[in-house]
Homo-oligomer: A and B are copies of this chain.
Amino acid sequence: MKKVGIADTTFARYDMGAAAIDELKKNASVKIERYTVPGIKDLPVASKKLIEERGCEIVMALGMPGAAEIDKQCAHEASLGIIAVQLLTSTHIIEVFVHEDEIEVGVEEDIETGVEAEAGSPKALAWLADRRAREHAQNVIKMLFKPDAIDREAGTGKREGFEDAGPLI
């Protein structure tokens, strides 16, 4: 059975790891390895360990960077580290970051999910974190089991969390 690594943080204010695991378990037959670390800058080496020491074929690295300038810099550093691990291991790591100031989500988004939450409210942010984690879990399933399905979506303006942007023309 294929093994999926879940690297997440205690800093995040929503249990995105649990959402990802729930979505993976519901839709595929995979083994889960979970590894929680303090912050997003600890995710690169945690992901590397999931791949090299625990045999994961793919990893989801989930985190919630804060809104301050320094938090954005941390996210940048973490992202570069996550890319480096992918190159060192030739293995995909799907980065699932929700920024605390992604505040556009709100009542306009509620049609599909029934969520009613003011843009930027904690409830709206939790909704976004949950949905982005789940939609990226779906990406992981496609990458592991249905590469043709993802190939058919090339250039179609997919988004994770928010609604798809769709193709330009």
> What residues of chain A have their CB less than 8 Å away from a CB belonging to chain B?
8-18, 34, 36-38, 41-42, 44-46, 48-49, 52-53, 70, 72-88, 90-95, 99, 122-123, 125-126, 129, 136, 139, 143, 150-151, 153-160, 165-169
Contact = CB atoms under 8 A, between A and B. Distances in A.
One complex includes copies of this chain to the number of 5
A15 B74 CA distance: 24
Contacts of A9: 154-155
Given A13-B168, A70-B99, A167-B13, A155 B18 contact: yes
A48, A53, A81 — most chain B CB neighbours (10 Å): A81
Contacts of A42: 92, 94
B45 A150 contact: no
A75 B17 CA distance: 25
